[in-house]
Amino acid sequence: MNDSSFLLEMKEIVKLFPGVRALDGVDFNLKSGEVHILLGENGAGKSTLMKILAGAYTPTSGEVFIEGKQIKQFSPIAAQKLGIGIIYQEFNLVPYLSVAENIFLDHMPMKHGFMVDSKKMHLEAKKVLQSMNMNVDTHALASEIPVAQQQMVEVAKALTHNLKVLIMDEPTSSLSSREIEHLFETIRRLKAKGIGIIYISHRLQEIPEIGDRITILRDGQFVDNRMVKDMGTQEMIRLMVGREIKDLYKRDYNPCGELMLKVDNLSSKKSGLKDVSIEVHKGEIVGLAGLVGAGRTELVRAIFHVDSFEKGQIIFKGKKLEKCLNPTEVIDCGISLIPEDRKSQGLSLALTVKENVVMASLDKLYPNKKISEEKEKEVVSNYVKELGISTPSINQHVKNLSGGNQQKVVLAKWLCTKADLIIFDEPTRGIDVGAKGEIYSFMNSLAANGKAIIMISSELPEIIGMSDRVYVMRDGKMINSIDRKDATQELILSYAMEGGREGADNE
């Protein structure tokens, strides 16, 4: 049963991944000619829902109807045929082909059977672009035109496939305000053609300008669906985060010791960091909050000297760190970084547990270069026991372990280096609740033993539950630091999102 006045209907969508319930019975619908905002925190399920629509995922259960007809097959090409177009944040163009060729990539007009009808292609391309009031040189290579125009080319490409539903994921994140104006004009033109647009964005101030209706998701569940004009910014934030903080976080808050890390005015053009300062004390857990792309990972990578930076200084345990250090020396000083992506950066999946655990401490453990099997067995087994890593043996290949156990192996690796400052980048992402609790209690005991911890997380309850202080970043800048007693989800999010609050200096 479906309501055919809707262009698109998604009913009771459930999507399960191993160990994670990404979508829990979500409803979503779209009218023809409307801009429907999809709002939610990182991990709320927005991109999962849209990937199902775009054919990248198949729903575990639930139904999707477009123009009244049910979608039976979920594949990107099927979605394209049905008139569903998606524009990701990272564009999908071929860099060294022209704009026209990108637009008509899979259906180039031909002449004489085997030749590409270049003239016709460029003519048609120009037509499509002009219908969007865009004046892009169709002969320019996709890599040569500015980002805003690349986006328009993606829209044009979607239009040539009989576009009915357009999904835009964070479309304005790399645009100037003039380019945003132009984008909105284009969107209005698409609306006039009857195309429905699903618009994902974290920029609250844009929503009233361009949105007609808004749906809010939270933790994979549908929260609310209203007309944009009936909802204020503060209420949006409240609905995004309104959840109870479970009593998962065990922290004994002890008084903090001396200053361990002091970062002053760090700036890096390449990473987009602007004048960032941060302090961490012994025995302290400092939370680093912000949206994806705010610069948190970039900041810790600069501290760890994986990425370089131009201005600013880092003082660790009273000594200034040289700018040209590399991770090897930084690890020697006593800093460790547990990266965001444990599979591609934190671990060597093809190697065994024991090989991964000792990887960062090879010279420390084996000063005469020879590996002592007994010592290795002892050291690694200790960590396996201490952290509760579930593995048949220390010779097990890491790729066969569950996510939670893999993360524990990464943690063991860095504990093995006897670091004093441990940086966690999204430590509990993709991990089941049980393992999460264990990791929290380790962090707690590490802090109790005098280590300093920086924790990057996109899970607000986690940040609030574990941190002594919370720093909030946005757009490469450090906006503010909030004490534990003042930290609420709304406050953090309002600093993290544009259109929310400004930093301490600006209030």
| 107 is a site residue for other proteins (CB under 8 A) | yes
How far apart are the C-alpha atoms of 208 and 224, rounded to whole Å?
A: 16
In contact, 243 and 433? CB cutoff 8 Å: no
Backbone phi, then psi, for 186, in 5-degree steps? -60, -45
Beta bridge partner(s), residue 39 = 216
C-alpha–C-alpha distance, residues 466 and 424, integer Å: 12
Kindly tell me which residue out of 5, 130, 205, 390 binds other proteins, with binding defined by CB under 8 A: 390
CA atoms of 438 and 427, how far apart (whole Å): 11
Verify binding: residue 205, other proteins, rule CB under 8 A. Answer: no
* Segment lying near other proteins (by CB under 8 A), choices 29-37, 89-97, 380-388, 494-502: 89-97
Q: How far from chain centre, in Å, is Cα 166?
A: 21
Does residue 374 interact with other proteins by CB under 8 A?
no
Among residues 39, 63, 41, 68, the alpha carbon closest in space to that of 53 is found at 63
Binding track, positions 300-339, relative to other proteins; x by CB under 8 A: ----x-x-------------------xxx-xxx----x-x
Q: Which listed residue (350, 449, 486, 506) binds other proteins by CB under 8 A?
A: 350
Q: Which is nearer to other proteins, 133 or 400 (CB)?
A: 400
DSSP β-ladder status, 311-316 and 319-321:
antiparallel
Using the rule CB under 8 A, is 124 a contact of other proteins?
no
Q: Interface with other proteins includes 16 (CB under 8 A)?
A: no
CA gap 227, 61 in Å, rounded = 28
**Number of amino acids touching other proteins (CB under 8 A):** 57
Mark the segment that binds other proteins (CB under 8 A) among 1-9, 209-217, 219-227, 352-360: 352-360
- All residues at 6 or more sequence positions from 46 whose CB lies less than 8 Å from its CB, including other chains: 38, 39, 40, 200, 217
Give yes or no for a contact between 47 and 26, defined as CB atoms under 8 angstroms apart: no
Beta strand pairing call for 311-316 and 259-268: antiparallel
245: left (phi over 0), alpha (psi -120 to 50) or beta: beta
Task: Identify the helix (H) or strand (E) that includes residue 302.
Answer: helix 296-303
CB of 497 to other proteins, least distance (A): 30
- Three-state DSSP class for residue 348: coil
Q: Which is nearer to other proteins, 73 or 234 (CB)?
A: 73
Task: Of 65, 75, 47, give the one whose Cα is nearest residue 8.
Answer: 65
Q: 289 vs 358, which CB is nearer to other proteins?
A: 358
Q: Which stretch binds other proteins (CB under 8 A): 58-66, 394-402, 428-436, 492-500?
A: 394-402
Asked if residue 20 binds other proteins (CB under 8 A), the reply is no
In the bound state with other proteins, the residue whose beta carbon lies nearer, of 192 and 350, is 350
- The one-letter amino acid code at 342 reads R
Shortest approach of other proteins to residue 110 CB, angstroms? 8
Nearest to other proteins of 117, 264 (CB atom): 117
Residues 413-472 that bind other proteins (CB under 8 A): 413, 417
Cβ(48)–Cβ(78) below 8 Å: no
Using the contact rule CB under 8 A, the part of the chain among 185-193, 278-286, 364-372, 486-494 near other proteins is 364-372
Using CB under 8 A as the binding rule, whether residue 123 contacts other proteins is answered as no
Yes or no: say if 198 and 164 are a contact pair by the CB < 8 Å rule: no
Q: Candidates 209, 322, 363, 502: give the one binding other proteins (CB under 8 A).
A: 363
- For other proteins, the binding residue among 345, 378, 433, 504 (CB under 8 A) is 345
Applying CB under 8 A, among 24, 366, 430, 503 the residue interacting with other proteins is 366
For other proteins, which residue of 227, 362, 433, 448 counts as binding (CB under 8 A)? Answer: 362
- Binding other proteins by CB under 8 A: which of 248, 315, 325, 351? 351
User: According to CB under 8 A, which one of 355, 459, 462, 468 is a site residue for other proteins?
Assistant: 355
Binder among 70, 92, 130, 277 for other proteins (CB under 8 A): 92
Q: Which of 349, 381, 490, 501 binds other proteins (CB under 8 A)?
A: 349
Please tell me the distance from the alpha carbon of residue 371 to that of residue 358, in angstroms, as a whole number: 10
* Contact positions with other proteins (CB under 8 A) in 143-172: 157
Among residues 32, 174, 382, 402, which is the contact residue for other proteins, using CB under 8 A? Answer: 402
Amino acid at 371: I
Q: What minimum distance in Å lies between the beta carbon of 482 and other proteins?
A: 30
Among 208, 396, 420, 441, binds other proteins (CB under 8 A): 396
Q: Which is nearer to other proteins, 20 or 180 (CB)?
A: 20
Nearest one of 234, 190, 189, 182 to 208, comparing CA atoms:
234
Q: Which positions ≥6 away from 289 have C-beta within 8 Å?
A: 296, 457, 458, 460, 463, 470, 471, 472, 473, 492, 495, 496
Asked if 110 interacts with other proteins (CB under 8 A), we say yes
- Report the 10 Å Cβ neighbour count for 221: 16
How far is residue 132's CA from residue 186's CA, in Å, rounded to a whole number?
A: 6
> Footprint of other proteins on this chain (CB under 8 A)?
76-77, 80, 92-97, 101, 105-108, 110, 114-116, 118, 157, 304, 306, 326-328, 330-332, 337, 339, 344-351, 355, 358-360, 362-363, 366, 369-371, 390, 392, 396-397, 400-402, 413, 417
